């Protein structure tokens, strides 16, 4: 059922008018993974740098190795100089310290640590270029046709690109293969090295049912987010890319999720709810 959305997007079942509701984002998708219906879409195939949404693929490949018994969650990973000096958002890892692999996964998912993501990638493959090849091979297998990964972190890199459509594919495949991954993504805070680190997902704990998944930002990408929320038996997945600012991105995701739960099987009803709210402003 998870892959029915391909038919919805490409088969012409229903197409969301891009002009119908104005949001401060460049691309958006709302998908009901329980029924397999796309409930809203705006520029789903527009190429945009994925920023830290890239880390979903890094975590996906890492959890593959855990599932195969090749890496234990309890494994103590020695932090390399490369990982420790990786810039941007950080778990504040120190060169030479030893950190349980599970904690590095949390550090990648929660505060979006680039250092943690690099340490995770190095644990899977000491050759980072080889790891990037694995990322792109998996993207190809998932038919993410407009996605190119250049590093495990999402830090700016020439040619690194994706779309809301491809990120939805990745999120669905990731959660289907590794449903327990949400245990990492639903962590609100944790501590490391005397610091309390908090989630970058502002909808976690603020919107009913949200238990993931990942945020991202660079100057080139704008504000990105993949949000998943479950209420009762219904799970929605929302992808926002190219937000003008964090507030606009989060507001858009929140409105789409709330409309989606009110009209779980009707894209037109979702649009009506969004339009009604827009008119009340």
The active-site residue, picked from 55, 103, 169, 214, is 55
Q: Which of 21-25, 78-82, 160-164 has the lowest mean pLDDT?
A: 21-25
Average pLDDT over residues 24-42: 96
Give kind and range of the element (H or E) at residue 148. Answer: none
Task: Determine whether 52 is an active site residue.
Answer: yes
pLDDT at 279: 64
pLDDT at 145: 97
pLDDT at 278: 67
Helix/strand/coil for 168: helix
CATH label of the domain that carries residue 68:
3.40.710.10
pLDDT, one tens digit per residue, over 180-221 is: 999 999 999 999 999 999 999 999 999 999 999 999 999 999
pTM of the model: 0.92
By C-alpha distance, which of 196, 184, 147 is closest to 59? 184
Task: Determine whether 266 is an active site residue.
Answer: no
Domain count, the chain: 1
Average pLDDT over residues 25-38: 96
Average pLDDT over residues 79-108: 98
- Which pLDDT band, with edges at 50, 70 and 90, does 265 fall under? confident
Task: Please check the confidence at residue 18 and state whether its pLDDT lies above 50.
Answer: no
Q: Which of 12-26, 105-119, 168-182, 211-225 has the lowest mean pLDDT?
A: 12-26
pLDDT at 21: 66
The active-site residue, picked from 33, 80, 89, 112, is 112
Task: Determine whether 112 is an active site residue.
Answer: yes
Residue-number span of the structural domain to which 125 is assigned: 5-280
Strands 234-243 and 27-32: antiparallel
- Which pLDDT band, with edges at 50, 70 and 90, does 276 fall under? confident
pLDDT at 22: 81
Please give the structure tokens belonging to residue 127: 């050759």
Average pLDDT over residues 78-105: 98
The active-site residue, picked from 33, 37, 52, 221, is 52
Reported for 98-104, long-range contacts at CB under 8 A and 24+ positions apart, including other chains, are: 99/192, 100/73, 100/74, 100/75, 100/76, 101/62, 101/66, 101/71, 101/72, 101/73, 101/74, 101/75, 101/76, 101/77, 102/73, 102/74, 103/190, 103/192, 104/77
pLDDT at 280: 62
pLDDT at 97: 98
């Amino acid at each position: 059922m998870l892959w029915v959305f391909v038919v919805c997007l490409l088969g012409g079942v229903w197409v969301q008018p891009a002009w119908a509701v104005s949001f401060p984002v460049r691309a958006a998708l709302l998908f009901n993974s329980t029924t397999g219906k796309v409930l809203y879409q705006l520029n789903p195939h527009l190429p945009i740098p994925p920023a830290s949404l890239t880390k979903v693929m890094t975590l996906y490949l890492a959890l593959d190795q855990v599932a195969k018994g090749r890496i234990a969650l309890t494994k103590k990973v020695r932090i390399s100089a490369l990982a420790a000096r990786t810039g941007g958002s950080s778990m504040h890892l120190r060169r030479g310290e030893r950190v349980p692999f599970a904690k590095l996964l949390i550090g990648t998912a929660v505060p979006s640590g680039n250092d943690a993501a690099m340490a995770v990638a190095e644990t899977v493959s000491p050759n980072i270029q080889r790891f990037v090849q694995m990322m792109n091979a998996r993207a190809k297998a998932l038919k993410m046709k407009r996605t190119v990964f250049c590093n495990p972190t999402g830090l700016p890199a020439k040619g690194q690109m994706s779309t809301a459509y491809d990120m939805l594919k990745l999120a669905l495949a990731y959660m289907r293969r590794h449903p327990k991954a949400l245990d990492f993504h639903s962590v609100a805070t944790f501590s490391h090295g005397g610091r309390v680190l908090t989630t970058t997902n502002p909808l976690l704990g603020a919107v009913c049912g949200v238990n993931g998944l990942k945020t991202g930002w660079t100057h080139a990408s704008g504000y990105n987010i993949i949000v998943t929320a479950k209420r009762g038996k219904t799970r929605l997945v929302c992808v926002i890319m190219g937000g003008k600012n964090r507030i606009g991105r989060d507001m858009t995701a929140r409105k789409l999720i709330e409309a989606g739960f009110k009209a779980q099987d009707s894209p037109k009803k979702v649009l009506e709810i969004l339009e009604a709210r827009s008119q009340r402003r």
